[in-house]
Amino acid sequence: MKINKIKEMSSPELEKELGELKSELFKLRFSLATNGLDNPMKIKEVKKDIARINTILTQRKLADRS
């Protein structure tokens, strides 16, 4: 997911997307442990998307305090 797309989303949408990505990460890790993945790099991509969303949410919370 691109950072521009993330910035356009509202905070509730980001919270929802964050939950979905965490669920997907769990499923990917489980799949990797049990039977292997076709593309193990998918885990890295999902982790980066989670970090991007967390960064934007933190920036918005800090901006609201000021």
Tens-place pLDDT, residues 21-54: 999 999 999 999 998 888 999 999 999 999 999 9
Structure token digits, residue 37: 């993945």
Which region holds residue 2: left if phi is over 0, alpha if psi is between -120 and 50, else beta?
Answer: beta
Crossing angle of helices 41-65 and 11-34, in 10° steps, is 150
Q: Which tokens sit at 34?
A: 């049990």
Q: Where are the alpha helices (DSSP H) in 2-40?
A: 3-8, 11-34
- pTM value is 0.91
Assign 19 a pLDDT band (cuts: 50, 70, 90): very high
The phi and psi torsions of 38 (rounded to 5 degrees) equal -70, -40
Fold classified for 3-65: Helix Hairpins (1.10.287)
